[in-house]
Amino acid sequence: MSVLTVAECPVCGGDVEITPDVIVGELLDCDDCGSEIEVRTLTPVRLEVAPTPAEDWGE
């Protein structure tokens, strides 16, 4: 699939590929830090960290 553009992950600064089929509201994964990122707008591309349920890791 061709890449429309590359945006910056708001968490780690890594490259996040925005392909032509991406739509507003879609959740993407950052390959580097694993964050779930929500596409808030496409023109211009604006990404935000998607809310995730808190985990206590057994504490």
Partner 1 sequence: MIRASILGGSGYGGGELLRLLLGHPEVDVAQVSSRRLVGKPVGRAHPNLRGHTSLRFSDPGDLEPCDILFLALPHGQASAGWDGIEGLAPRIIDLSADFRLQDPERYEPHYGSHPRPDVVGRFTYGLAEIDREAVRRATHVATGGCNATVTLLGLLPFFAAGLADPNLTVVDVKVGSSEGGAEPNPGSHHPVRSGIVRPYAATGHRHTAEIESVLSRYGPPVRVHMSVSAVDMVRGAAALSHVFLIEPMKAKEVWAVLRDHWDGHPFVRIVAERAGTHRLPEPRLLAGTNFCDVGFELDPFSNRLVVASAIDNLVKGSAGQAVQAMNLMMGWEETAGLGFVGLFPA
Binding interface with partner 1 (CB under 8 A): 11-14, 29, 32-36, 52
Closest to partner 1 by CB, 44 vs 53, is 53
Closest to partner 1 by CB, 4 vs 17, is 17
Q: Where are the beta strands (DSSP E) in the chain?
A: 5-8, 15-18, 27-29, 36-42, 45-49
* β-pair partners for 37: 28, 49
Nearest residue to 49 via CA among 21, 22, 15, 12:
12
Shortest gap between Cβ of 34 and partner 1 (angstroms)?
3
Closest to partner 1 by CB, 11 vs 22, is 11
